[in-house]
Structure 1
Amino acid sequence: MLLYPAVAAGGFRRYATYGTATAAGVFTNTVFGFIVAYTYIALWDERPGLGGYDQAQALTFVWVSQSLLAAGALIGGGFQEELQERVRTGDIAVDLYRPADLQLWWLAADLGRAGFQLLGRGVVPLVAGALAFPLALPADAVRWLLFLVSVVLALVVSFAVRYLLGLAAFWLMDGSGVNMMATVVSILFSGMLLPLTVFPGGFGEVVRLLPWSAMLQVPMDVLLGVHAGAGSAAAALGFQAAWAAVLLAAGRLVQSAATRRVVVQGG
């Protein structure tokens, strides 16, 4: 079992070597955070209490979302492109011969990547936002702990979705199209563009039940105290855990089907 922590540590070190890319990502997240923050200010000035948040909570949603964006690979940048490329070239055969579980290997590596992105690209934008705007960050240590647990579950759900995308290459060979579609869905239904509580009626109820809401909307609501109380917090974390279990199990089934039809191109 020491193998997978070592793989996670390797994933952390791998992304830590890309200093220039990390700095560029920090700059991009910070600038984009300011753009979205001022858009939210204008929107909440016109519609106070929109989505059940006051303006400070809405601004907190913006900046904490920016700190989670790269870690959750909500607009790409995760492992799925590499997995798809290994399927296309046939290098996946080497992975299948390793004395390690394929899904756990990629999960460990992706959690290591996410851990670095949380620190490398998450801290500076959040600090910048806290200095420039009045944020509603909680003072309660228990809520921060619940938020951390929720973030870990969000990362697992995100991995499970992207693992299915990676495995799609066994049938599609080129994953660029499905990756693009997945990015659009993630932007719309995770809460990255607007909190999902803004969406009205039945449509809003449906999107809040989809797995993408477990990647961002649920952790943000845990942090902002929407799920106050032990029962509500447990229900929110249980929702994330249920989606993680379902999607990981689906990944197992698809992996089993995929490995029966490995195609090695180019000899």
Structure 2
Amino acid sequence: MHTILLYARLVRYGFRKHATYVAAALAGAFTNSVFGILRAYVLIALWQARPGLAGYDVLDAVTFCFITQAFIGPMQLFGGGLTIPERIRSGDIALDLVRPASLQLCSLAEDLGRAGYLFVVRGLPPTILGALLFGITAPDNPGAFLVSFTLGVVVSFGWRYLVALSVCWLLDDRGTMAVSLVLTTFFSGMMLPLGIFPGFLGDLAAALPWAAMVQIPMDVYLGKADIWQALGVQALWVAVMLGLGALGTRLIRHRVVIQGG
């Protein structure tokens, strides 16, 4: 019971911590909105030239554009969002590892609070603007979409947590961050729906964890996926990512002990 209360407080802490950076969040919302408008015109032109591409019509494509723009902040699609790399470099990670609460779950709880705040402040403005300027569709099943979105946030956290832990071995996360940015942007569906990718590449992209961050929640939003199958795939990737994260945490604890703390 005490552990549950701790994680609940960390969710609240994550929300309040990021609520202090209102100007930064609003600036991010403005940037996402501007790029959303530019993307929308590109996608409209593409779908007018190729009607029915990837099973979408023009309205679906515009909706895809603005909802995925709203995903950027909450899901931290461009990477980062965790303080673990800095704490590894400073040595403060040793204190985190000896605490009775799980480093991974504490980080997840705080990240969920961050995502909740950015969903409201940075995610809603692009969505509202897109609805006003172009018109977008409402979610086919709001409850299922909310669950899918939350699972996507957790998958994103799991991936970013692994990237953050890599600093323990690489000492510098700039290389892994750059690779993560390319993989997430290309394979998540952030740029274009993965259904556009041809043949084997499309099948591969849909099977990778990054699709669980953007493409699957969007398929649920647009009503183009079997809900239980989509949620099942996301839940599988949540289990895999958190499992790898738990293993990585054990490995860095061993490494800290071997290095003398």
* Equivalent residue, structure 1, for 2:183: 185
Matched residue, 1:127: 128
Matched, 1:202 2:200: yes
1:35-74 → structure 2 map (5 Å cutoff): 35-74=38-77
| Structure 1 residues 263 and 24: alpha-carbon distance in aligned structure 2, compared to 1, 3 A threshold | farther
Q: Distance in 2 between matches of 1:192 and 1:172?
A: 28
Partner of 1:88: 89
Distance 1:50 1:257 in 2: 45
- List aligned pairs for 1:1-267, cutoff 5 A: 1-79=4-82, 82-138=83-139, 143-227=141-225, 232-262=226-256
Gaps of 5+ in 2: none
Distance, in Å, in 2 between the alignment partners of 1:5 and 1:17 is 19
Say if 1:88 and 1:264, in contact at 8 Å, map to a contact too. no
Identity of counterpart residues, as a percentage? 50
Question: Aligned partners of 2:73, 2:87: CA distance in 1, in Å?
Answer: 22
Give structure 1 regions of 4+ aligned residues with deviation exceeding 6 angstroms: none
Q: Which runs of 5+ in 1 are unaligned?
A: none
Find the residue that maps to 1:85 and give its secondary structure.
helix
Asked if structure 1 preserves the Cα contact closer than 8 Å seen for 2:79 and 2:160, the reply is no
Q: CA deviation at 1:136?
A: 2.2
- Structure 1 distance, partners of 2:257, 2:167, is 10
CA distance in 2, matches of 1:75, 1:244: 19
User: 2: distance between equivalents of 1:62 and 1:100?
Assistant: 39
TM-score under structure 1 length normalisation: 0.93
Q: Partner letter of residue 191 of structure 1?
A: G
- State the alpha-carbon separation in 1 of the partners of residues 53 and 240 from structure 2: 32
Shift in Å at residue 137 of structure 1? 2.0
Per the TM alignment, residue 119 of structure 1 is displaced from its structure 2 partner at its CA by 0.4
Residues 170, 263 of structure 1: 8 Å contact kept: no
RMSD, matched Cα? 1.5
Letter in 1 for 2:48: D
User: Deviation of residue 95 (structure 1)?
Assistant: 1.0
CA distance in 1, matches of 2:26, 2:137: 27
Higher deviation after alignment, 154-163 or 92-101: 92-101
